Every structure is written in structure tokens, then in C-alpha cells.
Chain A
């Protein structure tokens, strides 16, 4: 293989001698970085193929965040993203002999990564077809406080009905039933007699029943 014009020459010479370099002594640090200072993954992979563990570790650690971002773009679940990244790394490890340093590293990595991402999405699809997400609704459904929505609606209806009572009856209901005062307390608070309160309460309940039934029948 000769130098190629579209890539810097010095790195390619290292590719060609990757095996010798790893055997004899470590390749100079500068050869594993690009002119802009970032790691050259292609060179690292070539060294890893020759058995250079240090280069391999640096490569894996460098590509992991990239793979994580790649996976996170398509997979929502965070732990699934991490699983996918590990799947990709495992696959990369088993097929690392298929990388040809004469070709760019990116497409090679992305092909493998996309494979595992698609696998994961398929599995998510399969599971999703058979499993329902556990929503908060499911959790509260059995509890005693379930159907709070309906209770709120009922309370609203009652409150409206109470508002439409005559003033005396409304005060009696509010004090005796809603605020749970005793007859004596209510009498002291309102200045009405106990008997008048009783009558007012009785009439109020009758009226309320009539109001609510009318409303229920209407809806």
C-alpha cells in the first residue's frame, strides 16, 4: 500500500507498520493523534489489532461517549442505551479483525453500532407489544382514595347546590354538616335557636335532595 493523497502521510506509514511498531516498541504518541490533536481511531484500531492493549483501551474509552450519544438519539430508555453501548462494544470486539486500516474507521463503527441499535429497537417493539407501561393510574386504581376525580365532581355538585339554598338553610348546613359544629355551638355562633336550626337543617336537606336529583336527572 502506498501513501494516499487524501490522508496525511505520516499516519499511514504507521498503519503500514502497525504490527512491527506494536511488536518493537510503542509507536510515538504523536502518531495516534490527528493534526488537530484528537485521537485517530483508525490508528488506534490498527494497533489494537496487533495486540496493543493500551491503544485498545484508549480507543474503547474514546468511542464509548460517541456510541452513547448515537444510541441515545434513537433509544429513549437510559438503561437500554447503556445496554446497547455494551452490545456494540462486544460486537466490535468479536469482529475487530474485519477492520481494514486503509478504510475510514467511522463507517465501520457506525455499521456495527446501527446493527445493535436496530436490534434493541426491535426488542423494545416486541416487548412493547406485550407489556403495558405501569402508569400512576394503575397504581391508585385499587386504593381507597381511587376515583378522586369523581369525588371532586360530586363535591362540586354539592357545593353548587348548597350555594343555591336560602341563606338560613345554607348557614345551618354549613355549620352543622360541613363544619361539624354541635347544635349548641351553631346556635351560639348564628344567634338562631336550636329548634330553628333543626328545622332549617331538615328543610335544607330536603331542598338539597331535590336540587341534586333535579341536576342528576338533567345530566
Chain B
């Protein structure tokens, strides 16, 4: 075991200039720009759902998608702000109102479309394409978020990463609603939990390794 003064010596010796983080809101905007880029790319490659114009006239659909997008914006901002040490954790509640609206529209869809979704309400082909969209939007967004938030790994990863994954899940859900003709509510719900657990597992494993790489233990 090294003594504390030895540790200070080695830390001082390692004190290279660092670039300060940009303000959290700026970083959240960067991430949202990236998310918008991803959604545009998917829209160009895949095309929007055939009945989009029709759906856009349904208030529930519009409210649901808008709430998901607002959730994404607020949740990413919240996680970037709360990830900075010394900022209040209460920021993490920022997306709560939008989440409530978003989840309640999902719940409404579940109630009204329960029978039509049913056990064989989805065709396997469409489901597979849905999953492709999920992966194409969700994985890059998660990775970018994880890299942007890597410094939080040693601080308080769980709540921040949960909020970050909420942003990813909301973006992905909005993408699914815009690009796929089925209201894959159950899948969206599953995907929410999936992203959350995936990100938590990754931050648990990857965060520690990254830390060991960034700061070799003296």
C-alpha cells in the first residue's frame, strides 16, 4: 500500500492538462443532434410507415410520439446535468412529466388494441424488421451516451445511466412508431427494460475497465 503523500506525488506527476467538459446542455444537444441524424438515416434507408399521414391525424399517436421525443430530450439533458458531480440529483426527475404522458398513451393503446395485437397479431417478418430498427437506432445511441458519460462510472452510474437509457428508449420508441405500421407496444415496453438492463450491465463491466485504463492504480 502506498502512502497518501506518495499517491499525491504520482497524481501530480500525471497531471496533464485536461479539457473541461462542455456545459451539460450543450452536450445533451450534441447527443440529440446525433439521435436526429440516426433517425433521419433510418428514415431515408427504411422509409416511413405507409400510413404515417393517416396516423398523424390521430391525436393519441401524435401525443405519444411527441411525448416520447420530449422524454428523450429531457432525459438526456437530465442525465448530462446530473452526471456532473456537485449538481443536484433532482435533475433526474426532469423527464418525469413527459414520461407519464408517454406511458399513458402506450397504456391507452394497449387497452384499445389489446385484441388486435393478440398472440398472432404480429407477422414474423414485420417483427424482425422492427428489431432491426430497434438495434440500428438503439445501439449507436446507447454507445454514444455511454462514452459521453464514461466519467460517471466511478461516481454514481446507476441513476444517471437509467435516465440515459430512458432517453435512448424514448428515441427508439418514437422511431418505431414513425417507421413501422404496427403499434408494437409490448415490444417497446420490452425494449425499454432491455436497454436499461443492457446499459446497466455494460456500464458495470465496461465502466470499470475504462476506469482501470484511464487511471492505472498506483
Contacts and interface: CB of A to CB of B under 8 A. Distances in A.
Interface in B1-59: 1-2, 4, 7-8, 11-21, 23
Instruction: Indicate the size class of the contact surface on chain B.
Output: 20 to 34
A51 B217 CA distance: 20
B125 interface: no
Contacts of B206: none
A115 B11 contact: no
B185 to A, nearest CB: 38
A100 B84 contact: yes
Nearest to B84: A98
Contacts of B83: 98
B37 to A, nearest CB: 26
A112 B151 CA distance: 12
A111 to B, nearest CB: 4
B84 A96 contact: no
Interface in A75-112: 82-83, 85-86, 89-91, 93-100, 103-104, 106-112
Contact of B154 (A61, A91, A97): A91
Nearest to B24: A100
B128 interface: no
A53 B17 CA distance: 9
B156 A90 contact: no
B121 to A, nearest CB: 46
A38 B1 CA distance: 32
A95 B18 CA distance: 10
A48 interface: yes
Nearest to B214: A94
A95 B152 CA distance: 8
B20 A89 contact: no
Contacts of A97: 18-21, 151
Interface in B164-218: 211, 214-215, 217-218
Contacts of B1: 83
A111 B155 contact: yes
Given A56-B12, A115-B156, A51 B17 contact: yes
A112 to B, nearest CB: 5
B85 interface: yes
B124 interface: no
B86 interface: yes
Given A83-B1, A115-B154, 7 more contacts: A48-B15, A56-B12, A56-B15, A91-B154, A94-B154, A107-B87, A112-B85
Interface of A: 22, 48-53, 56-57, 60-61, 64, 82-83, 85-86, 89-91, 93-100, 103-104, 106-112, 115
